[in-house]
Amino acid sequence: MNILILSAGTRDLVVRAFKNALSGKGKVIATDCSNLAPAIYEADRAYIVPRINDPGYIGTILDICRKEKISGVLSLIDPELSLIALHREEFEEAGVKVLTPSYELCEICLDKFRMYRFLEGSGFAAARCYLDAEEFLHEKAKGRASYPVFVKPQKGSASLNINRVENDETLRTLFDNYDDLMIQEFMDGQEYGCDVYIDLISGKCVSMFLKKKIRMRAGETDKSVSVKDEKLFAMLASFVEERGFSGMIDVDLFLKDGTWYLSEINPRFGGGYPHAYACGVDFPSLILRNLEGQENPVSVGEYEEGVCMMKYNDICIRREEELL
């Protein structure tokens, strides 16, 4: 059994986790569009491929799948999730399981305003969002909205191009100069992240790992501590099962005045997943069991609380002649 990890980038710890799970059973193949992506050098075999918007990209990936006898394929970047989900049938014809939810769910997760609407009736609170600056200003004049707010691209990831806005002038300037923006109510509660796995066979939520975020850097969790909340676990399990999610997802939440606010869902391994893995929450092994046709037992919250993660820098060294 071989696994293909697309757009591996700097996510070497995810590659290592799959190598550990596959030890003696198969190989990890990784791709990236750059030969300076360090994670590809952790894989058993790697390929340099075109960018995901290249017309020949999917054909290239399918060729790799056939050549390497791939059983399951996943991506580590948001824009590619919808792409491989869209071509699910072609992958299945090649005998490959696409490890993402449906195309529709991937698109909803990528679009922050659609996610806001998607959360209505979910049981979770959500920060109020607006697509139109004048609608927000009207609500503010009525006393139903206030500064500060976040102005961000409607689609995007890694917290890129997010601006905290404190006044009308800045708000109008941003909307006059940039397209496809949205306004989001400022959240000042405690931020959390939850790594969730929904079994590919049973559709049940079988594993969760909740972390309190202590520090963020470039949109990813830099320092965190493991915690548990049984009420939240039950709410999340019900939500992801009812809405049809599958596989691994990364959920961003806020806790404010005793209320859980769901902010974003990324249907992939999150940047903070290594914290969960270090605490024994082994999603790669769950994936492999599913690919072998076995359901995973429910093991939500089976980890130790009070375990801290602190990211630090490391480097990958290769001679130029060793680069792919």
Token pair, residue 53, equals: 């918007």
For tokens 């290249």, the residue is 54
Which among 227, 200, 222 has a CA at the least distance from the CA of 283? 200
Whose structure tokens read 């596959």?
22
Of 210, 199, 201, give the one whose Cα is nearest residue 281.
210
Beta strands 2-6 and 70-75: pairing type? parallel
Residue 262: CA atoms inside 13 Å, Cβ hemisphere, count? 26
Q: Measure the N-to-C terminal CA separation of the chain; round to a whole number of Å.
A: 24
CA-CA distance, 145 to 137, in Å (whole number)? Answer: 8
User: What would the pLDDT profile of 230-284 be if each residue is shown by its tens digit?
Assistant: 999 999 999 999 999 999 999 999 999 999 999 999 999 999 999 999 999 999 9
DSSP-derived secondary structure for 215-228: EEETTEEEEEEEE-
Tokens of 174: 């941003």
Q: With left for phi above 0 and alpha for psi between -120 and 50, is residue 180 left, alpha or beta? A: left
In the chain, where the domains are located:
2-100, 128-185, 188-310
Q: Which tens digit of pLDDT belongs to each residue from 108-165?
A: 999 999 999 999 889 899 999 999 999 999 999 999 999 999 999 998 665 556 899 9
Class of domain 2-100: alpha beta
CATH classification (class only), 188-310? alpha beta
Read off the pTM.
Answer: 0.94
Q: Please tell me the distance from the alpha carbon of residue 210 to that of residue 193, in angstroms, as a whole number.
A: 6
At position 199, the amino acid (one-letter code) is D
**Residue whose structure tokens are 């394929």:** 73
- CATH 3.30.2350.10 applies to domain 128-185: no
Same fold, 2-100 and 188-310: no
Over the stretch 212-221, which tens digit does the pLDDT of each residue have? 999 988 778 8
Each residue's pLDDT tens digit, 1-14: 999 999 999 999 99
- What letter does residue 245 receive in the DSSP assignment? -
